[in-house]
Structure 1
Amino acid sequence: MVSPPALPPEMRVLRSALIVDDHPLFCDALAMTLTGPVGIAEVGAVGSLAAALDRLADKEKPDVIVLDLNLPDVNGLDGVVRIRQAAPETPIVIVSSLDEMRVVRAALKAGINAFVPKHADRGEFGRAFAAIARGEIHVSGIDLEQAAPAASDEAVRRLSLLTRQQAKILQLIGMGLMNKQIAYELSIAETTVKAHVTAIMRKLGVQTRMQAVLFAQEASFANLVSDA
């Protein structure tokens, strides 16, 4: 059973929420759901990860963060990783149209507390927030044992094709670093990082950085890369 990060055993009081989504109409509808049926007193909204990080740095943190995976300044699960780093004690609810099992598993491993599809009804949001208040995690319509991150033999096989340098680069991508940051971290040129990223996606048989990260998450990739 997956356990939510840093939640106390007693009931958590949820009075405020921050929505991070770049679709204004959806934000408005979700805010009405949270302030209405769910009973959240104060709901704010921002349209990018950068704005969310600024809000978390400058103001008192909300009781819950509601995060979309598809943001204009986010690659894959970078948003979850960076929000978790900025607010390690704050529950994160993912609300996304990307609700396939691999995405859910990877998001759980990255530290979310609830996963609700964008097409869910208002009652589902209420159940998700109630679970968070109890110190539990909630995944809409999916058995938690089934959704728990699990290793994939195929993912492991493909990951074994990576060189040590490529493995480290993929690990850093999973931590939310961009190519320029990875180049600085590994003391190599940014063009070299880009070439490695292209090779990584080719070897894994994927087309995006997010898909590469999902492969890594599914196979518990951290266990495959030892310290240099």
Structure 2
Amino acid sequence: MPTASTRFKTALVIDDHPLFCDALVMTLQAVCTVESVATAASLAEALTALDSVTPDIVVLDLNLPDVSGFDGLIRLRKSTDAAILVVSSMADARTINAVISAGAAGFVPKHSQRDMFARAFDAIAQQRTFVPEDHMPETDTATQDAVARLASLTTQQSRILELICEGKLNKQIAFDLSIAETTVKAHVTAIMRKLGVHSRTQAVLIAKEASFEDHLR
């Protein structure tokens, strides 16, 4: 009997490990009967693929070579209306909660059995959020809050914050992005307002709170 997950016809799998990427494709084809699956080994490759592919669901590995922390998920969420299922080896409560806060439709530990993937796809197809049954909500919401605030930024604001984190001044950011310095200043003001901070240093601290390095300490 067909399940709700059979509604997924086109998928995009993003994982930089070729063997695991192939395994995810086979799992999708087995439990969702998808007709077309595109793959990407980096966030940049995935964003390019979205120019020609309109997936119903995206399966995303958090640990990609060209992203830091939850930045890949946040940027992807702004680039597609597809449901995003995060698959990661980092399955602690804080990671799962932050992933859902950033807009993912579900989370599955990377080495889960096929049955869990099937239940995740079915739940997401029914527009229900999926997390592992044994997931215990994390009482410390600092990372969740940081990720949620970062998710409120526009794509351009996210890029500017990334450059701020690299220590660049407004003039350098304007040059890198080919925009006016006054435009950069306006974006910085908007970034600080959305993040609820009053300085560039505080904005950087919020960004670091959502990074894997600080998150896993």
| TM class, shorter-length | 0.5 to 0.7
TM-align CA RMSD: 3.9
Cα distance in structure 2, aligned partners of 1:44 and 1:31: 9
Maintained 8 Å contact 1:97/1:117 = yes
Q: How many residues align?
A: 180
2:28: which partner in 1? Answer: 34
Shift of 1:38: 3.0
Q: Which residue in 1 is equivalent to 2:163? A: 180
Q: Match for residue 140 of structure 1?
A: 132
- Whether the 8 Å contact between 2:6 and 2:34 is mirrored in structure 1 is no
Matched letter for residue 212 of structure 2: M
**Corresponding residue for 1:209?**
211
The correspondence for 1:77, drawn from 70, 74, 82, is 70
Tell me how far apart the structure 1 counterparts of residues 64 and 6 of structure 2 sit (CA, whole Å): 28
Change in CA separation of 1:40 and 1:11 when aligned onto 2, cut-off 3 Å:
closer
Q: Distance between the aligned counterparts of 1:209 and 1:128, measured in 2?
A: 25
For normalisation by structure 2, the TM-score amounts to 0.68
* Residue 113 of structure 2 corresponds to residue 121 of structure 1: yes
Q: Is the 8 A contact 2:13 2:59 kept in 1?
A: yes
Deviation at 1:200, TM superposition (A): 4.0
Q: Deviations over 1:67-110 (max 9, x none)?
A: 000000010000110000001x2100000001000000111100
Distance 2:164 2:150 in 1: 9
Give the gaps of 5 or more residues in structure 2: 174-199
State how 1:1-228 maps to structure 2 within 5 Å: 13-56=7-50, 58-87=51-80, 89-143=81-135, 146-147=136-137, 152=141, 155=142, 176-177=158-159, 179-180=162-163, 187=170, 196=201, 200=205, 209-212=211-214
- Tell whether the 8 Å contact from 1:12 to 1:132 is kept in structure 2 after alignment: no
Q: 1:34 to 1:173 in 2, by over 3 A?
A: closer
Query: Partner residue of 1:223?
Result: none
Identity percentage over the alignment?
37
